[in-house]
Each structure stands twice: as structure tokens, then as C-alpha cells.
Structure 1
């Protein structure tokens, strides 16, 4: 099952997505708000995990391609967080795009489609998003898709005093409920 917008297709991952995703994980600009870059093995493990989740439940962090060219540009989607955070269980929305596709509205467009799926198909009550407080571009996308800041928290997997430890938490409630 694919989700289509005017310019994008959110879909299951394909083998041809692997190399561009590996390159994204090695790009220090793409990964600057994450604790580490991803090496090839870590990127392939991520793809295997999210592919399996989509196969099992029908949704997850979908690969995103440009309709016009079929080119892989990153991922956008939904991910269940059962216990990692004090606000768990929850479903988060997340995204990561290759640098060449930033500031063109793609993250916002794809995230709006993922939210529509979350609320209309999955009938979720709410969706959350979080990122390092330093990540103002991602926070701007959260605001553009109608999310509201509800808290700040220290990420449990990052050590105290780590520059990325402080995170912002956003949420949006299902407008159909």
C-alpha cells in the first residue's frame, strides 16, 4: 500500500533505496542532530527493521520517493514507542531527508499525509513528535503540520550534559474525535 501526495509517494523500502540511505547516514549535515552518523551496517539494520515493521503492521517509517522521478529522498512515517519514554506508549511521527531535498516542503507534505493516515486509517487519538531542542528545522516542520509543543525532556539514551540530550515534545490530537 502506498500513500500519495501531489509530489511524493510514501511506500515500502526497496533494494535501490539502500545506497542513498547509507549515504544519508554518513552525511554529517543530515545526522547533525543525532548522536552519531550511521555506518553502512547500521543503515542496513535500520532499513531491515523498518521494512519488517511495515510488513507486519502495514505502516511505519515509509521510504519517500519523488513522483516525478522515482528518486528516493528519505523517509517519513509513524513509529510505535511502547516504553522508552515517560510519555510512552505513543506513536511518533518522524522524518529524515537527504540534504538535496531540504527546504522544498517535502517533509511537511509527507508528514501531513502520514498524519492523515494515523488519524483516518489507524484512528489514533494523538501522535507525538520529538527532537533535540537544537533541531529548529525539524521543530518548524512540527509546527507547520499543526503540532503543539507540550514539554521538554532529557532523552533517556543520551548522557547528562550531552549537547543533544534536551528534547522538545510536540503532539497533535485527532481532529475527528
Structure 2
């Protein structure tokens, strides 16, 4: 568990499922992701993240607001996606509900996640990937001290060639 001034990052619990389903049903939240997931997709994602937590000690954790206990999003670490420049590295990622945009929660959670990763994992750098139109995401990467690796821009291997999400950009944060 990671505690910040306003947030708690923790492994998924059964009580998170309804909030996650509501969160991923918002087309604006999911705008730069491949598709709106089904309930089965969400269950598989939760199981996958719980497996990362079990096997690696980290995952994309549930993020809850400390005072209310409300689910506000997900943020954490996972093994880097296969066939991408972050394969074999640790990847940071996040997604927050629209009601929580502009509150600084994503920055607070991501900075704490990077700090946790460098304090607890034997890695020299942590990566992140997104698409160029997702300015909020790569803007956050820059605000938390990540640097774009232009030489590592790539076409995501799991996406069809005609997908508007095919081309990705890569950022890294190096241990200080």
C-alpha cells in the first residue's frame, strides 16, 4: 500500500469492481484506449493486475481518496508490455475518472508510484507509453520528470495497422 497526503494506492478489492465498471464505461475516460471494455474484460484486467501483485509485488493499484474512501482511478506499475520498448522493464500507468481530473490526483499518485518503484525495485529506470494525441498523459509524464525517448517511438504490436492508436511514444524516468 502507498499512502500520500490525499490518496491510498492499494491492491484491488471486490468492492472496487462496480466503481471500475462505471469508470471504464465513460467514453471520455477511455478516449485514448482501444475500446470500451466489457464486464468480462474488466474482470480479466483485475485478475491480471492481481496476478502482477502476487508475482511481482506491484500492479496498477486502485487509487482511493483518503478522506472519502471513494475510488478515483488506477495508478501503478506492471511488467512492460511485450513487443514494446518497455518490454523487460517496469512500466508505470494510470487512468482516473473524469470527476477527478484537474485535482492533481494523477500527479500525486504517479509521483508516489515512481518513488515507491525506485525505493523497492532493483531497476535503474521506469518507462511509460501512450499515443501522441493523449496530451494529458504525456504532459503528466513530463511533470513527474519523465523524458521522451524519440528514438523509441513505435507501432504497438497488438493494434491493427489502420488503428488511430497504432503509433506510440515512450517516456523514461531514470533513478536519481
TM-score of the aligned structures, taking structure 1 as reference length: 0.93
Q: Within 2, Cα distance between the matches of 1:73 and 1:133?
A: 24
Distance 2:163 2:52 in 1: 30
Contact 1:78 1:94 in 2 (8 A): yes
TM-score by length of 2: 0.94
Please, which runs of 5 or more residues in structure 2 have no aligned partner?
none
Task: Specify the SS of the correspondent of 1:38.
Answer: coil
CA separation in 2, counterparts of 1:114 and 1:123?
Answer: 14
Corresponding residue number in structure 1 for 2:158: 157
**3-state secondary structure, aligned to 1:110:** helix
Q: Quote how far apart the aligned CAs of 1:26 are.
A: 1.4
Q: 1:169 to 1:86 in 2, by over 3 A?
A: closer
How many angstroms apart in 1 are the aligned matches of 2:149 and 2:133? 16
Deviations 1:86-114 (A, max 9, x none): 45211110001111111111111000111
Q: 2:163 and 2:82 mapped to 1: Cα distance? A: 22
Q: 1:11-69 CA deviation, whole Å, 9 max, x = no partner?
A: 01111100110112211111110111111111111111112221232211111000011
Distance 1:3 1:73 in 2: 15
Matched, 1:174 2:164: no
Residue number in structure 2 paired with 1:24: 23
Give 1:22-171 correspondences, 5 Å limit.
22-81=21-80, 83-151=82-150, 152-171=153-172
Q: Note the alpha carbon deviations across 1:141-162, whole angstroms, 9 max, x for none.
A: 1011000010221111112232
8 Å Cα contact 1:22-1:44 kept in structure 2: no
Runs of 4+ in 1 over 3 A off after TM superposition: none
Give the length in aligned residue pairs.
174
Distance (Å, rounded) in 2 between the aligned partners of 1:105 and 1:168: 23
- The Cα of 1:163 is off from its aligned counterpart by 1.1
